[in-house]
């Protein structure tokens, strides 16, 4: 339809302006763009698509893959500029409506059916290619963003320069941070962990999923975060925590959080968040030297009596409270007293005597540490 082609060609510039204006008015993403972007990249994209539709009025037959190259490239560029796919599709619908309104104003009755078919054929060829290019560009962006965040976290953990990496990752690094060393059981997919962390923090969280390092910005409640992770991921979460007052302090905080996590793991502690102050005694007991083995040996006489060891653990765990220990063990108070007396007789250390009780508690910790190291 050469005549319709010529009539539409004369209106192409005005039609392009109408579509760009419509996108800026009706689509929030375009509404937020500066005028230079609307008059530049956005207008170029609209012109490229309209140029294809115009060609289809003149040349019968489907579009060839090579005809779509420029349109797809422009779409990929817009995706790399973080154009949401839904905004891109909305823009195509705005453009299609504007094109059809113009066609119906200049086409004769015998031309409308063919013009409508050509418009649908054009959209059928262009939109899937654009969606594919958009999704691929977004995937590339995601991979690039993930790489930038990994490099940024590595720099912070090693005390290296990070400002340029933070700009590349589009993240602002504040002054204070909280470092977590996290262990999941069972381990959920990394993607789900990242989504759960970002959702709770309300901002992208730097994570080393292999090493279990989580760098939280200031203001995120770590206790509430662990509860959220437990609920969202349906797994137990064990974590060591340390604070960093400045970015330069992050490496030392990470080392402290790692030691805490390793220690509570060796002790067989349950899920929860542990600070260094929570395991000060255990930390000191875990230092190399003969004292650890000598302490653990205090319990050797109980080795053949697991129920006595269980009783001692419960008694220590409940702060030497007989009533609570008896309730946990489901035994009578008299039975508990009998067992404590047997422990005193066999070990020479009376759990009812404060000085002896401290030694027995330390011996339990030493035994747990040695078992965890085995």
Contact 45, 78 (CB under 8 A): yes
Bridge partners (DSSP) of residue 185 are 236
Q: Which residues of 273-302 are buried (b: 16+ CB within 10 A; e: fewer)?
A: bbeeebbeebeebbeeeeebeebbebbebb
Q: Which residues of 247-257 are buried (b: 16+ CB within 10 A; e: fewer)?
A: bebbbebbebb
E strand or H helix that includes residue 184: strand 177-185
Does the reported pTM lie above 0.85? no
* pLDDT in the model for residue 368: 84
For residue range 342-356, list pLDDT tens digits in order.
Answer: 999 999 999 988 888
Can you say whether the dihedral through the CA atoms of 95, 97, 99, 102 is positive or negative? negative
Nearest Cα residue to 228 out of 274, 193, 254: 193
E strand or H helix that includes residue 206: strand 206-208
Distance of CA 355 to the CA centre of its chain: 48
* pLDDT in the model for residue 146: 81
Contact 145, 170 (CB under 8 A): yes
Contact 360, 351 (CB under 8 A): yes
- The C-alpha atoms of residue 363 and residue 295 are separated, in whole angstroms, by 5
Tell how strand 272-274 and strand 213-217 pair up.
unpaired
* pLDDT in the model for residue 18: 95
In terms of DSSP H, where are the helices of the chain? Answer: 2-9, 12-26, 28-31, 35-37, 43-58, 69-80, 85-106, 109-157, 163-168, 190-201, 222-233, 250-266, 280-285, 291-297, 306-317, 322-329, 333-347, 354-373
What is the C-alpha end-to-end distance of the chain, expressed in Å?
Answer: 84
Ranges of the chain whose pLDDT falls below 50: none
Backbone angles phi, psi at 118, to 5 degrees: -65, -35
- The C-alpha atoms of residue 200 and residue 233 are separated, in whole angstroms, by 13
């Amino acid at each position: 339809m050469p005549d319709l082609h010529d009539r539409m060609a004369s209106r192409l510039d005005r039609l392009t302006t109408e579509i760009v204006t419509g996108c800026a008015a009706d689509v929030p993403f375009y509404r937020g763009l500066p005028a230079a972007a609307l008059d530049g990249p956005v207008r170029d994209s609209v012109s490229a698509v309209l140029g294809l539709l115009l060609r289809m009025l003149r040349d019968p037959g489907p579009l060839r893959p090579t005809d779509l190259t420029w349109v797809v490239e422009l779409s990929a560029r817009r995706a790399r500029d973080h154009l949401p796919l839904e905004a891109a599709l909305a823009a195509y619908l705005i453009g299609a409506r504007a094109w059809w309104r113009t066609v119906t104003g200049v086409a004769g009755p015998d031309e409308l059916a063919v013009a409508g078919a050509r418009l649908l054929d054009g959209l059928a060829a262009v939109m899937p290619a654009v969606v594919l290019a958009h999704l691929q560009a977004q995937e590339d962006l995601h991979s690039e963003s993930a790489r930038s965040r990994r490099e940024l976290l590595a720099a912070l953990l090693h005390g290296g320069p990070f400002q340029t990496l933070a700009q590349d990752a589009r993240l602002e690094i504040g002054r204070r941070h909280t470092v977590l060393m996290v262990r999941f059981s069972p381990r959920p997919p990394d993607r789900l962990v990242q989504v759960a962390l970002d959702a709770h923090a309300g901002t992208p969280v730097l994570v080393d999923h292999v090493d279990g390092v989580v760098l939280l910005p200031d203001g995120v409640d770590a206790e509430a975060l662990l509860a959220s992770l437990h609920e969202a991921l349906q797994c137990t979460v064990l974590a060591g925590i340390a604070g960093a007052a400045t970015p330069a302090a992050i490496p030392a905080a990470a080392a402290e959080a790692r030691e805490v996590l390793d220690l509570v793991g060796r002790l067989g502690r349950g899920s929860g968040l542990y600070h260094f102050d929570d395991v000060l005694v255990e930390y000191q007991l875990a230092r190399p030297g003969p004292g650890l083995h000598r302490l653990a040996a205090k319990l050797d006489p109980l080795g053949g009596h697991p129920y006595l060891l269980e009783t001692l653990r419960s008694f220590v765990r409940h702060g030497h409270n007989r009533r609570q220990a008896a309730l946990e063990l489901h035994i009578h108070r008299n039975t508990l007293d009998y067992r404590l007396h047997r422990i005193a007789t066999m070990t020479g250390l009376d759990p009812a005597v404060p000085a002896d009780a401290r030694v027995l508690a330390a011996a339990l910790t030493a035994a747990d540490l040695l078992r965890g190291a085995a």
